[in-house]
Amino acid sequence: GGDNVGRARALTMLGQAEEALSLLRGLGTGDPEVEAARREARLQLGQDGSREEALLQELREESVREIKESLEAMAPLVGSDFSPEMLHSPQGLTQVLARIFGYNHFRPGQLEVILPLMQGKSVLGLMPTGAGKSLCYQIPAALLPGATVVISPLIALMKDQVEGLPPHLFHRATVINSALEPGEADRRLAAVTRGEFSLIYAAPERLRQRSFVEALKRRGVSLFVIDEAHCVSMWGHDFRPDYFFIRDALKELGSPTVLALTATATPDMQDDIGQQLGVPLARVNLGTFRPNLSFTVRRCAGEQEKWSAIVSLLREEKGPAIIYVDRRKKAEEIATQLEAAGIPAAAYHAGLEKNARDLAQSRFMLGETRVIAATVAFGMGVDKADVRLVIHQSLPRCLESYYQEAGRAGRDGLPARCVMLYTSYDKSTLTNRLNRDRMQADEILGIHRALSRLLARGEAGVRAEELEQACGTDSTRVRVGISLLQRLGALRRGYDLPGSIWLAPTTAGSNGHATPELRRLLQGGGRSGQGGNGRQAVTLSGQEASRLSGIPLAQLEETLLKWDQAGLIRFRCGARLMGLQLASNGTDVTQEVKRALAQIQEQDNRRADLLRRFLDNGECRQAFVGRYFGMEAATGCGVCDNCTRTTGTVGVTRRDDERAHDLTSDAESALFERLRAWRRETARAEGVPAYVIFHDRVLYAIAKERPRSLAALVEVGGVGRAKVDRFGDEIISLVREDG
């Protein structure tokens, strides 16, 4: 029956509601999915009169029913007394937090984000690194009937986050990105449409693939999460062109509730995020202040003094460290010098082979390499909780970049240091670096001219490689240039178009049910072997398929998907083209590009001046950053170099004193070290970062409370039942070793 229901819904979408009703006639009544498919077909035929409002009411009731069914399934975890009304109460959500995620209390600001989301209100969450933003969508994902979609540019972080989920959510979560083989991506998309996943992580470029958006539409999306939301704003420091299409995707998905998350957005950028998404966003601003971080800026006479400072800092601080540099060669030099000095280190930059990058990151995450010297390529996808030191050997591009990069220290909430080293030469050449990195008018106008030539052939799609070759530049700069032209109204970019397709007829498609367009495709396309049931599969280019079928290329994939859903074919899209169209609105592209670049240059100059003021200013470092991001700090942080210089106190230079505050005896310290060694070996065996097993703060709590039974262990904050089931016996054994 399930296949027939899917075919009936697809036939209804194809305008063949009578055939859909005929297919459903043999199915029994009482099945909610069958009845919903019947309602859709009847509504299209007008048999239900003007019952749109009644249908909407039925759909609302169905949503409530799905929530109740979800809660019934979770009853062993959250308790049988849990009701839908408790989804909107702090008490109910705290119960979910404790029972499923193993935490007794929310961190500051988390409830303020989650409560409106559960009520269907969209939110912009401004949360500093380490504030626990992932929990703000993981709890709704565990409770809401539709899917929670998380759009993130961070492939490495997606995998880490899924591996760190509690079992109840782990089995209902998936990742869909370019790291998957095409066949595996197709299998996961099919599982999405069947409703097998409630939490779906995806890269933003997936939204331009109609097959992905159609799968989400069939699944139903309750919450749409945009991680690193500052990437939406072209005036931000880290604009990502693929975020430009999110607004269109939201409309296609029926305008679900939105959660936009970022740690770095000025007030103007916050306004721009809402405008670019086309969604009114309630703001929950937790500020930028992180009391566990001490910021220090140190002026050096030259590169040799920088090197001496790096070695000295690493001798003082024994924990994991990141050293940021501005050049690939410098990363390799520092890593080599540190190794020679007896400090385990590795280099990381975009010029390394992928296997070498993956190995360097993996060894650092697992604690096998203590220090990583990296360009900004070692960035947002790295979520190592116990980094104790971040050193900037080179100046960052701007204050936003610095706060984000320095913020990778101390994500476990324990004290950590952020040190920026600079020379007078670094300071004077900052503007030159920004000018060198920024796209120039000739580049963008060259992209526009190349597109004009390529699109003059009458085709709606352009191969990215062909455009890069025509422009003589790399893919990143081409995408940024296209996005700027979009924003100026000189260009429109929609869904990616099929560059090549593979399709095979089903029994239904071969027995006279195929449309004339489909028959022309099957009869005129090139053959490529068996497609199942002994029938010949067809492989051909998108342009050839468009010509044979008479279907415009811009509508081809949508039509093929409908045929697939109707059970007429099996379809797969291969290479893709950018779906582009030049605007014919009389815009003077040259003048508009120059005007926009002048604005960007002015913005860059302001950022460079701000970073210079940060270097020389004598006020609290955290207060300076907070004010830039729209938060007023009444008092200083008390631990940055400026605060300690003013008060005459000694800054936080050693972490051991802070740790001793938590562990007050040698026995507690010894147990903590045993737990850390056990965690390291467990993480290595499972191939995951150590924090996925337990954060340091949880190990501290275990060492402090010394639980000697599973019942006592489950009460330790951050452990929870799921972790007790997996690791409880081993931990209790370690605790009891002391007798």
pLDDT tens digits for 212-236?
Answer: 999 999 899 999 999 989 888 765 5
- Token code pair at residue 71: 């809660």
| DSSP letters spanning 218-284 | HH-EEEEEESSGGGG-TTSTT--GGGGGHHHHHHHTT--EEEEEES---HHHHHHHHHHHT---EEE
Diameter of the chain measured on Cα atoms: 88
DSSP conformational letter for 396: -
Q: Is the pLDDT of residue 398 over 70?
A: yes
CA 362 to chain centre: 19
- Token code pair at residue 213: 């958006």
Residue from 489, 492, 494, 453 nearest 593 by CA: 489
Task: Give the sign of the dihedral formed by CA 248, CA 254, CA 255, CA 258.
Answer: negative
Average pLDDT, the chain: 82
CA 97 to chain centre: 22
Q: How many residues belong to the chain? A: 739
Instruction: Classify 635 as helix, strand or coil.
Output: coil
User: Mean pLDDT lowest for which of 93-102, 258-267, 509-518?
Assistant: 509-518
Query: Which tens digits make up the pLDDT trace of 407-424?
Result: 889 888 889 999 999 998
DSSP conformational letter for 382: -
| Percent of the residues in the chain that have a pLDDT greater than 90, as a whole number | 30
Task: Give the sign of the dihedral formed by CA 188, CA 192, CA 197, CA 199.
Answer: positive
| Sole residue written with tokens 């931990």 | 731
Residue from 319, 295, 355, 291 nearest 128 by CA: 291
Higher pLDDT, 288 or 547: 547
pLDDT given at position 423? 93
pLDDT given at position 672? 85
Residue from 454, 376, 440 nearest 408 by CA: 376
The 3-class SS string of 9-44 reads HHHHHCCCHHHHHHHHCCCCCCCHHHHHHHHHHHHH
Contact 248, 284 (CB under 8 A): no
Contact 690, 383 (CB under 8 A): no
Query: Which tens digits make up the pLDDT trace of 134-188?
Result: 899 999 998 888 899 999 877 666 776 787 787 778 889 999 987 788 788 889 9
Q: Is the pLDDT of residue 354 over 50?
A: yes
Query: How far is residue 242's CA from residue 234's CA, in Å, rounded to a whole number?
Result: 11
Query: Which tens digits make up the pLDDT trace of 26-51?
Result: 665 556 567 667 777 776 666 544 44
Mean pLDDT of the 191-208 span? 92
- The CA distances from residue 337 to 182, 310, 344, 352, in Å, are 42, 11, 10, 18
Backbone angles phi, psi at 305, to 5 degrees: -70, -35
Tally DSSP H helices, then E strands, for the chain. 36, 21
Please name the residues in contact with 91: beta carbons below 8 A apart, sequence gap of 6 or more: none
CA 179 to chain centre: 14
CA within 13 Å, CB half, 601: 12
Residue from 177, 152, 209 nearest 579 by CA: 209
Give the N- to C-terminal CA distance of the chain in Å, as an integer: 61
Q: pTM (2 decimals)?
A: 0.77
